[in-house]
Amino acid sequence: MANTANQSDSDIIATEETQENKTKQVSTFEVSPETIKKIKEALTTPIPGKDEFWLIEPIVTPDKSGKKILGIFKKKSISPEELKDLRKTSIQSPGNTRAKIQKLKKQYPNNAMLYMLSAICTHGMLMNSSNQREVLRGLKLATKEAAISVISNGISVYNCENFFRIYFTFLDRLKRFQLKNLETVKMDPRLESYKNQLMHAIQTVDQLSSEKNRVFNVLNHLKKKLKSSQYIVTFDFTRIREAIRHIENGNAKERVLTGTAAEIIAYIYALTVSFARTPALWSLVDEILKLFPDAARNLLIRKISISSVRNFMKFKLAAIESDRDNMAKLGKLILKENMLGVQKLEGQSLYQSYETDPFFNIAFIAELSVGLYKDDDHRKIIDTAISAIGSLIKRDMSKNHVFTESATNHSHKLVGLRDGGASPKDRIV
């Protein structure tokens, strides 16, 4: 009996020593190179708004005088019938159609529509793939191709809808890949250094993805205004300029493309707000804002509204990175441009959403910038916002005063901040 007990103790000690040795051996093993590769790929996949990969320019080609012009202005070499057939087969047979489109791109390198059709085919092919990394890489390139098409003077409902479908699919797949790698990192203490980087990247993708419903609500609303045959109609810069000229000359009811000048400007404004929510299309936003003259008040107010949507997006992305210097600069810029809007609207009754944007934007930046500026400076911003919101409530002449309830809620928040409901020092952005 004693010998049996002693033997058991020895076995136990030997077992513990063996396990300890194994633990020491495991701890000295290097992390799998493939694991590190995947994590780095999740971190280096370019995120719109953070990487130069998404600083996209339109297709250009030199004309005979040596000046650069948008490729879409060149005489079209592909017939409408052929494009119609390609649009159909890009959905039905994306693989075969993509091969055909690649040959056509070599033949007509400045045809922006081919970039969109190529992106649609790539998207269709990838949706049947089980290789997560392959899908992600392909969607990244497809998103860029689709963006090039829209940016190259290719604004149409068809192009915009397809771009956003591909863009948000890319963001969704990128987040899945990031989350998968974050789980790997959490399970191994040796990978701790990657944790914060992945979490920041995921937050950024979340912020960009949060715009999806707003964007598609705009597109769905626009589709209700147009006939399905008009979805492929391009709102090119020449037509936008024409509509603007009619507005400036007081001829808002003049026909331009699919509607009146006023309707075309309303469509372009709504679409450009969606573009402003999308870093991959910011170069297009710049080009459209150049078309809107400052002299025409209602066009200037729309211009300010679009610019502020983009600046708020930049502000939120900077907040994720805790880039307080950039946040402070953007906050001042948002305040300045919207104060100009409020001044331009002085004494005017407010009916449209874009007319109320300057007032709400001042309130938003006052609330979002708590703790970002010196206490005295922030109190001045709050006072300015309270005054702006009070003016909006008095001048809200929309049907059923639809802006008043939201404005009143802002007023309560702002008064609470001003009167010490929350100390700026306790509410760092």
**Domain-ending residue, one of 208, 240, 267:** 208
- Domain assignment present for residue 99? The answer is yes
The pLDDT value given to residue 9: 53
Q: Is residue 21 part of a domain?
A: no
Domain boundary among 167, 187, 208: 208
Residue 160 makes CB contacts below 8 A (sequence gap 6+) with 150, 219, 271, 274
Q: Which domain holds residue 166?
A: 33-208
Residue of 356, 360, 362 whose CA lies nearest to 339:
362
Query: Is 265 part of a structural domain of the chain?
Result: no
The number of residues in the chain equals 429
Residue 247 in any domain: the answer is: no
| One pLDDT digit (tens) per residue for the chain, 429 residues | 444 444 555 554 445 455 444 444 444 467 888 999 999 999 999 999 999 999 999 997 434 344 455 544 444 578 999 999 999 999 999 999 999 999 999 999 889 999 999 999 999 999 888 888 899 999 999 999 999 999 999 999 999 999 999 999 999 999 999 999 999 999 999 999 999 999 999 999 999 999 999 999 999 999 999 999 999 999 999 999 999 999 999 999 999 998 999 999 999 999 999 999 999 999 999 999 999 999 999 999 999 999 999 999 999 999 999 999 999 999 999 999 999 999 999 999 999 999 999 999 999 999 999 999 999 999 999 999 999 999 999 999 999 999 999 999 999 999 999 998 554 444 444
Place of tokens 């469509």: 267
Q: Does residue 301 lie within any of the structural domains?
A: no
Count of the separate structural domains present in the chain = 2
- Given this model, what pLDDT does residue 27 score? 45
pLDDT of residue 66: 40
How much is the pLDDT for 11? 53
Based on the domain organization, do 182 and 318 belong to the same domain?
Answer: no
Q: For residue 157, what is the enclosing H or E element?
A: helix 157-187
The verdict on residue 341 lying in a domain is yes
Q: What is the DSSP letter of 2?
A: H
Interior/surface letters 260-285, b for 16+ CB within 10 angstroms, e for the rest:
bbbbbbbbbbbbbbbbbbbbbbbbbb
